[in-house]
Amino acid sequence: MKRGLATLILALFTTLPAHAASCSWSARMEEDEGGSVMTASVCGGPKGDAHLMLACFGKPVLSYDLGAAGGQLEPGISGSFTFKTGDKSLTKKLELEAMYNYFTTELSGPADPLLSLLRGKGEVTVSADKYGAARFPLKGSGAAIGKVLAECGKGSGGEAD
């Protein structure tokens, strides 16, 4: 199913709360074109319409949807985004996934420094000069990310019988 990821994203957007104050991390199985995939997600930003999503496709993949602040972005672009929580910060290059209009990056694995940062306390601010900043709560992130990482590598490789 070629539209599986689009269905996943649509499902996430229609089930996540509309206000940033009510956003919290969750992890659940979502359907993808390769089958079911555990996905952790949270909403944030000034209007609660920005999203961070973590799924595992062999390696963990982090997706960042700018929400309304992103508008329609040009295919083929990338950006350097800084993830900051407390006194820790990390800058990572994310590539635009033009079909879904959000930025993604493949992480090195469970020990990736960005995952460590996202499993912290308080909140994380994601910012880029061109796209502004959005804040996301970290409450529940450790458990949600842990569920995704526990499922990493358990799949059948997306092959159907």
Q: Does some domain include residue 114? A: yes
Q: Does some domain include residue 60? A: yes
Q: Does some domain include residue 102? A: yes
Alpha-carbon gap, residue 1 to 78, rounded angstroms: 27
Domain range for 136 is 4-151
Q: Does some domain include residue 124? A: yes
The reported pLDDT for the residue numbered 158 is 39
Of all residues in the chain, the percent with pLDDT exceeding 70 is 81
pLDDT tens per residue, range 106-144 = 999 999 999 999 999 999 999 999 999 999 999 999 999
Spatial neighbors of 30 by CB under 8 A, at least 6 apart, are 8, 11, 12, 36, 37, 38, 39, 55
The reported pLDDT for the residue numbered 58 is 84
Q: Is the pLDDT of residue 17 over 80?
A: no
Q: Does some domain include residue 49? A: yes
Q: Does some domain include residue 161? A: no
Q: For the chain, what is the domain count?
A: 1
The reported pLDDT for the residue numbered 22 is 66
- AA letter at 161: D
Of 74 and 83, the structure prediction assigns the larger pLDDT to 83
Q: Is the pLDDT of residue 15 over 70?
A: no
Q: Does some domain include residue 158? A: no
Spatial neighbors of 119 by CB under 8 A, at least 6 apart, are 138, 141, 142, 145, 146
Region of 109 please: left (phi>0), alpha (psi -120 to 50) or beta: left
Output the pTM of the full model: 0.80
Of all residues in the chain, the percent with pLDDT exceeding 90 is 60
The reported pLDDT for the residue numbered 57 is 83
Given a contact cutoff of 8 angstroms between Cβ atoms, the answer to whether 126 and 134 are in contact is: yes
Q: Does some domain include residue 109? A: yes
CATH code, domain carrying 39: 2.60.40.1880
pLDDT tens per residue, range 78-115 = 999 999 999 999 999 999 998 888 999 999 999 999 99
